[in-house]
Amino acid sequence: MVPSPGHFLPPHPPKAIIIVSGPPEPVETRKVVHDPVHGAIKVSGLTLDLLESAEVQRLSHIKQLGLAHLVFPGANHTRLEHSLGAMSIAERLGEELELPDADRADLAVAAMLHDVGHGPFSHTLEGVVHAVLGFDHVEHGMRIIRGEADALPPVDRHELGDPAPVVEIIAGAGFDPARIASLLEPAHGPTLFDYEEGRRPTNGEDAGGARHLRQLIAGAVDVDQIDYLMRDAHYTGVAQGVIDVDRLLQTLAVHEGELCIDRSGVSALEGMLVARGLMFTSVYLHRAARIAELMLARAVERLDDTGFLGRMISLTDAELASELSARGGRARKTVMDLKYRRLLKSAVQLSVSEASESQRVAMVGLARPLVRRAFEDDLAGRAGLPPGDVIVDVPAAELLLSEPRLYTTDVKVLDQGELEPLSKYSPLARALQQRTATNWGLLVACPRDAMGMVASAVERELPK
């Protein structure tokens, strides 16, 4: 008898060990993942296969909130946790809405994979990638699901023994990768790809009648936002993200192919929209966290290495930090500054409401990366600083890229069988469209000891 752990071994091992054969261990088809936000999440079938895929496991090494942990120490949760949470909410919504089984399955799979295209530090580097490579994490994720791009570095896939990519896992389970990918396309923007024609429909058509599914993945109210608001509030300790998720899920409906909310749930929807706005102000665009993320983004941008950017999007947070450190110079300095929280300080902060018309025009121009970088270098030179020591932030343009839903409140209200605009019932929703997410339209940051010189340079260079 082979001793179990904890038993004493005999002084002399037996001359032979007889192994009694038996039926093979059953293949595990279901797992329960214990989540601090949603409790026990059951994962089975295709979603379990995807959870164990290399592409999804990679997300466990990418922080959900980028560098926000430098301000909110608890914010160390990952994109993998969020993906599981979004899938859990998708499954619950499928039941609440009484969707057909096939739609429920597609929705859960799309929710699990909706962030598979994220690069290191989540949204932190998305502006750089989009400016140089011309796509964002959503488009990259759609390509990965369709098998047109790989989420892993080639060397990793080789060393792992060339595991099946998600496109093969999806297709092997009898699902359509193109349809799953199409559900990631934002429902408030262009409609679904028409894969047979190789074009985007432009007249409002919606292939497969899946508009409501797309709205549930990337719409004005969706499983992504519901989970990240709940999860980010939990891990940051910021109460503004708390929402009445039960009431919200119970009052969402599908009417004539459109996701809507019953009139009785308007207050729950208002609560979510308010929470979203407040979380952007207090967490996602917290000034210190924003400066930290821009420091990293500028370090990557100033490498002026398109090839590196193309490879970078498949790295994890730690791998990117290691590669930047190995490059030396400003890249290594930035990694060290972030490691020990040596952040640049705000020298100038100008709100849109306080800016003159000519200053607003200048802000629009500074949203263009080349113009903004030239302005940064000009300010640094005038303050006697090396290039890269001054950061200029005009967040409005980047917000449209990283979170286009921020000012979207186009949820229809179902009232006695008719769809009505939310604005008819909620002046609050109208007001939220006018609310700005940051206290600044223009921010200039630099080393602490140069704040006065940089502020003077901005005053001279910025139009009156």
* pLDDT, position 399: 67
Strands 258-262, 252-255: pairing kind: antiparallel
Stated pTM of the model: 0.87
Residue 2 has pLDDT above 90, yes or no: no
Whole-number Å distance between alpha carbons of 223 and 221? 7
Lowest mean pLDDT among 24-28, 67-71, 162-166, 416-420: 24-28
* pLDDT, position 209: 67
Q: pLDDT grade, residue 436 (50/70/90)?
A: confident
Highest mean pLDDT: which range of 46-50, 205-209, 280-284: 46-50
Residue 398 has pLDDT above 60, yes or no: yes
Q: How many residues does this entry show for the chain?
A: 464
| Element housing 246 (H / E) | helix 245-251
Residue 99 has pLDDT above 80, yes or no: yes
CB 46 within 8 A of CB 105: yes
Three-state DSSP at 233 gives helix
Cα separation values, 53 from 45, 104, 119, 142, 168, Å: 13, 21, 17, 16, 11
* pLDDT, position 137: 95
CB 252 within 8 A of CB 110: no
* pLDDT, position 24: 43
Q: What tens digit of pLDDT does each residue of 336-382 get?
A: 999 999 999 999 999 888 889 999 889 889 989 999 999 999 999 99
Give the largest Cα separation in the chain, rounded.
92
CB-facing half-sphere around the CA of 336: CA atoms within 13 A: 9
